[in-house]
């Protein structure tokens, strides 16, 4: 069951959706951070069509040049030594495999995660996700729950990690909890604690990665390098894909069959991802996300938003009223935004190509609603 937005889109272009009545909607939600290069970018669409016509699919039983090219591309743009890549089909699956990798590497079971963290709906990822109902689901599956460290509590992080801990998993900028940019000192403390005790540091960049937060990886933006990094959502701009990018040290003990996926790294999603990464680079979308993010932040504060959290184009507008009310009033103006688990936070995750004009339209809508 899903809480649905009051629009039935039939077409998309850039930051805009067209509904079944031909009306245009401004999408500041980006299909949940997926439409990194906007909806149906012509280069991405062409790459998908061409690859589908060449070879729709073959499994990982064969080497495909696009899978290799995408793995090499990710290895080149992630901070060293993150260079080993495994492809799967979603964010949860990427995190599931990252946890599996950490447990296999360390021979330990305990995971440390962070309050407000959200990592997926598989049994293992639910067990590390914060929230009573997720923990309840994990408990029903018999999976041990993670130790939850309060966000930004350096001393608690230092105390939680010891020689029994396989991994610390953290979103450098938390998405669902309201675009919460964790303190760099806290992420550094997680790095130090993992180093001191031989635990694996996992950054879940499913929502905050792929150019959204100031660099291709949030890891680069915050200057802390994890041992494992996961991407999904925006990586192929709409085709299902997940990627686990790890250091050779963490993957050294893997043997044949430890990780696997039938569909993971198929030729069509890889073609889409490569085209998507080309567009991000060629159109300077990482810089655009920083610039437009700063513009939206300043504008929102000028219109009475109390505080803006997040980085780049993953922003949390902290309001003096329920965000759901503001979201509804913006829907009435055909503007799509997101809410968060914090009921006072309106979440913005537009395409990285969001323009200054589109930002101004959003801010004008917001000004009307908040006046
Ligand atoms: N991690 C984070 C930070 C997410 O935001 C999400 C999706 N909201 C996931 C993991 C799970 O991704 P998926 O829905 O593709 O399984």
Is the CB–ligand 1 distance for residue 204 below 6 Å? yes
Q: Give 241 Cα–ligand 1 centroid separation in angstroms.
A: 11
Q: For domain 44-250+257-282, is the CATH number 3.40.50.620?
A: no
| pLDDT > 80? residue 73 | yes
| pLDDT > 80? residue 1 | no
Distance CA 146, CA 108 (A): 13
The pLDDT tens digits of the residues spanning 266-321 come to 999 999 999 999 999 999 999 999 999 999 999 999 999 999 999 999 999 999 99
- Binned at pLDDT 50, 70 and 90, residue 2 comes out as confident
Q: Give 230 Cα–ligand 1 centroid separation in angstroms.
A: 10
- Binned at pLDDT 50, 70 and 90, residue 3 comes out as confident
**Average pLDDT over every residue of 229-253:** 98
Residues 184, 186, 188, 191: what is their CA dihedral angle, to the nearest 10 degrees?
-140
Question: Following DSSP, what letter does each residue of 212-250 receive, concatenated?
Answer: TTSSSSHHHHHT---SEEEE-GGGSBTB--EEEEE-HHH
Instruction: Give the mutation target among 116, 233, 238, 311 for probing the ligand 1 site: most ligand atoms within 8 A of CB.
Output: 233
Share of the chain above pLDDT 70, in %: 100
Residue with tokens 């890889």: 270
Distance CA 35, CA 15 (A): 8
Share of the chain above pLDDT 90, in %: 97
């Amino acid at each position: 069951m899903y809480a649905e937005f009051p629009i039935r889109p039939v077409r998309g272009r850039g930051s805009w959706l067209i509904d079944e009545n031909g009306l245009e909607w401004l999408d500041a939600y980006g299909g949940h951070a997926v439409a990194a290069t906007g909806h149906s970018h012509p280069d991405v669409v062409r790459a998908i069509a061409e690859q589908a016509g060449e070879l729709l699919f073959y499994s990982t039983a064969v080497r495909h040049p696009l899978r290799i090219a995408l793995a090499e591309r990710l290895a080149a743009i992630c901070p060293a030594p993150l260079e080993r890549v495994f492809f799967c089909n979603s964010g949860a699956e990427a995190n599931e495999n990252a946890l599996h990798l950490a447990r296999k590497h360390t021979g330990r079971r305990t995971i440390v995660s962070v309050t407000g963290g959200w990592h997926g709906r598989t049994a293992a990822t639910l067990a590390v996700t914060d929230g009573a109902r997720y923990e309840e689901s994990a408990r029903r599956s018999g999976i041990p729950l993670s130790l939850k460290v309060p966000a930004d509590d350096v001393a608690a992080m230092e105390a939680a990690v010891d020689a029994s801990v396989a991994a610390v998993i953290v979103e450098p900028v938390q998405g669902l909890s309201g675009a919460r940019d964790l303190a760099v000192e806290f992420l550094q403390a997680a790095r130090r604690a993992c180093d001191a005790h031989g635990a694996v540091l996992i950054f879940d960049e499913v929502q905050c990665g792929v150019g959204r937060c100031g660099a291709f990886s949030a890891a680069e933006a915050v200057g802390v390098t994890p041992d494992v990094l996961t991407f999904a959502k925006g990586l192929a701009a709409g085709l299902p894909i997940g990627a686990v990018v790890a250091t050779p040290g963490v993957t050294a003990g893997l043997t044949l069959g430890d990780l696997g996926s039938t569909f993971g790294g198929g030729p069509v999603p890889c073609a889409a991802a490569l085209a998507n990464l080309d567009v991000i680079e060629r159109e300077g979308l990482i810089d655009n996300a920083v610039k437009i993010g700063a513009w939206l932040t300043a504008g929102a504060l000028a219109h009475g938003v109390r505080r803006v959290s997040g980085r780049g184009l993953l922003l949390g507008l902290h309001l003096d009223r329920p965000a759901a009310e503001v979201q509804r009033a913006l829907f009435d103006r055909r503007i799509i935004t997101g809410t968060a688990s914090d009921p006072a936070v309106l979440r913005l995750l537009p395409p990285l190509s969001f323009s200054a004009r589109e930002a101004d339209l959003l801010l004008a809508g917001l000004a009307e609603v908040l006046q």
